[in-house]
Every structure is written in structure tokens, then in C-alpha cells.
Chain A
Amino acid sequence: NAGVTQTPKFRILKIGQSMTLQCAQDMNHNYMYWYRQDPGMGLKLIYYSVGAGITDKGEVPNGYNVSRSTTEDFPLRLELAAPSQTSVYFCASRGEAAGYTFGSGTRLTVV
């Protein structure tokens, strides 16, 4: 099992550009989440999904979109990147009776 795989690990975007952060898990987990972590801060939920075809907003969804066409994949789309979106992004998945398994993170800088 690879667990939760995130790509890319690092990315620099210019203001106004768009990109997709990829997240895939091979544990057959129904629940998947996207968090952002600003320097020295905790984790804020952006979007989550309780199964294929179902997504919902978290605390800080503005400027992002997600889709969940399969159980395995949960990509996060940034449209019109802004400096405020500079952060580390973590994808996580969860089984029925367990804690989160986090991906290794994507460090995004918007300049």
C-alpha cells in the first residue's frame, strides 16, 4: 500500500495562474479531505468528500474546487491563484473507524 500520494511536492505559481493538486489513496477509504496549513498555524479544512460523487465545503473553500469521480482520487483545483493561497496543502483519507492518513503535502508559493 502506498497510502495517500500527493503530487506535486512543490510548486511556484504566478498570480492568476491555475493548477490542480493531485491526491490518490489505495486503501479504499470513502472519506477524503483537503487541508491547508499556514506557517505556524493549525490545519484548516478546505473541502471534503464522503464518497465518490459527493463533496462538501469546509471552513475555507473560497478560491478552490474539488471533484471525486472515483474512490481513489480527490484532486483540488486552484483557479486564479492569489498570494493568500501560499500554504502547505495536505490531503488525507480516513477509514470507517480510524484516524486520518495524511499525504506528504504540497508546498505552494504564489508570487
Chain B
Amino acid sequence: GENVEQHPSTLSVQEGDSAVIKCTYSDSASNYFPWYKQELGKRPQLIIDIRSNVGEKKDQRIAVTLNKTAKHFSLHITETQPEDSAVYFCAASTGTGNQFYFGTGTSLTVIP
């Protein structure tokens, strides 16, 4: 099955700096890559996603890039704010309805 690796496991940045989280996947058939944010004690929430026919997608301060050849995708958060502090999970899926394979998570701390 698919194997998703995520780095780093922890990340601390100063408020206003950028944060980058990277994931790699193993199954070249994967074609959908969502990112989830999980605040302490809460459920994961979808923040952005990208499909394999697109190389980059932006939503305000958040962007995701995908390199299909290298089988990696990244989450970029610019102008970080304390409320961005959370655990972020990447995931990969091979098709509609198919299960997501999750990375192990990155704990992001934004220092005011």
C-alpha cells in the first residue's frame, strides 16, 4: 500500500516567518493530496488540497505544491500567526472514495 512520510515532526517559527512542511509518497497512482490541521483536543480539519493535475494551489496565506515526478508535496504557510499553532497532517489517496494514507504529523508552534 501507499506510504506517506512527513517532515519535520516538530517546527517552531517566529510570528511572521514562513513555515514549510514536506511529505513524500510511494504510490505513483496517488492523485489527491489533502492537508489537515488539528488543534489540541479537536478533530482534524481540511485546510487545503491539491489534485495530481495541478502543480500548485494557494488560499490566502496557505499554499501547497506538488512534484509528481519526485513524488513529494509541501505545505507553505506565510506570515505565520500564533493561531496557526497546531498539528498538521498530509495525506494521499489513489482515487474517489479510496482511503487516505496519512503522514505522522508536524507539530507547528508559532512564537509570538
A residues with CB within 8 A of B? 30-31, 33, 40-43, 45, 48, 50, 58, 90, 94, 96-97, 99-105
B45's nearest neighbour on chain A, judged by CB, is: A102
Which residues of chain B have C-beta atoms less than 8 A from A45's C-beta? 99
Least distance between A63 CB and chain B CB atoms (Å): 19
Q: Is A30 within 8 A of B97, CB to CB?
A: yes
Q: Which of B53-61, B70-78, B100-108 contacts A (4 or more CB under 8 A)?
A: B100-108
A59's nearest neighbour on chain B, judged by CB, is: B1
CA distance A58 to B42 in the complex (A): 23
Which residues of chain A have C-beta atoms less than 8 A from B45's C-beta? 102
Which residues of chain A have C-beta atoms less than 8 A from B97's C-beta? 30-31, 50, 94, 96
Q: Is A58 within 8 A of B99, CB to CB?
A: yes
Interface residues of B in 24-47 (CB under 8 A from A): 32, 34, 36, 42-46
Which residues of chain B have C-beta atoms less than 8 A from A31's C-beta? 97
Which residues of chain B have C-beta atoms less than 8 A from A102's C-beta? 43-45
Which residues of chain A have C-beta atoms less than 8 A from B102's C-beta? 42-43
Q: Is A100 within 8 A of B34, CB to CB?
A: yes
A-B pairs with beta carbons under 8 Å apart, 23 shown: A31-B97, A41-B104, A42-B6, A42-B102, A42-B103, A42-B104, A43-B44, A45-B99, A50-B97, A90-B43, A90-B44, A96-B96, A99-B32, A99-B34, A99-B36, A99-B100, A100-B34, A100-B36, A100-B46, A102-B43, A102-B45, A105-B42, A105-B43
Q: Is B49 within 8 A of A99, CB to CB?
A: yes
Which residues of chain A have C-beta atoms less than 8 A from B99's C-beta? 33, 45, 48, 58
